Chains A and B, each alone.
Chain A
Amino acid sequence: NAGVTQTPKFQVLKTGQSMTLQCAQDMNHEYMSWYRQDPGMGLRLIHYSVGAGITDQGEVPNGYNVSRSTTEDFPLRLLSAAPSQTSVYFCASIRQGNTEAFFGQGTRLTVV
């Protein structure tokens, strides 16, 4: 199993550009989520999903969209990138009934 895979690992965007951060897991986990990691602020939940076709907002959802068309994939879309979205983004998955979260390796995004 590859676990949770995120692409790309690094990205530089100009203000106003849009892009999609990819997240895929091959463990058949029901729950998936996106976090951003900022110095001094820990990990904050952006969006999460409890299954295909179901998504919900987390703590800091503004400026981001998600969809969950399959169990495996949970892409995060930045609609119009802003410098405040410069961060490291982590995707995670959890098997229903279990409690351990598995994380991707992260995507370091810089918006200039």
Chain B
Amino acid sequence: AQRVTQPEKLLSVFKGAPVELKCNYSYSGSPELFWYVQYSRQRLQLLLRHISRESIKGFTADLNKGETSFHLKKPFAQEEDSAMYYCALLTGGGNKLTFGTGTQLKVEL
């Protein structure tokens, strides 16, 4: 069965510091991985997907199949980055998302 692991429940960094949110997965097939973000009092929304290899709001994430990881990184944290971040794995032919337990990112001034 598939599994997504986010080891940190809370990550607190200072503004301007680098950020790395860790995500590891377990899946026997070819993984499609995503990062979703939930800002305070807002609905979950897609931040980025590995297949796009894009940078969104300064965040990037690289799929490392050897280490089965998909860590989210940003070189300089901003106050508006404070939110809950979920790593997710898409399976079932594209209709099932398995989420990690989430990491609350807090950016302090």
Contacts and interface: CB of A to CB of B under 8 A. Distances in A.
Of the four ranges (under 10, 10 to 19, 20 to 34, 35 or more), the interface on chain A belongs to 20 to 34
A92 interface: yes
A60 B52 CA distance: 31
Contacts, number: 61
A61 interface: no
Interface in B30-55: 32, 34, 36, 42-46, 49, 51
Interface string B96-109: 11111110000000
A45 B95 CA distance: 11
B45 A103 contact: yes
B90 interface: yes
Interface string A41-57: 11111001010000000
Given A100-B49, A106-B43, A48 B86 contact: no
Most buried by A among B44, B49, B98: B44
Of the four ranges (under 10, 10 to 19, 20 to 34, 35 or more), the interface on chain B belongs to 20 to 34
Contacts of A58: 96
B99 A42 contact: yes
B94 interface: yes
A90 interface: yes
Given A45-B97, A92-B97, A99-B32, 18 more contacts: A33-B96, A33-B97, A40-B9, A40-B101, A42-B100, A45-B98, A48-B92, A48-B96, A94-B94, A94-B95, A97-B94, A99-B34, A99-B49, A100-B49, A101-B46, A103-B43, A103-B44, A105-B43
8 contacts: A33-B96, A43-B44, A43-B86, A43-B99, A48-B95, A48-B96, A50-B95, A99-B49
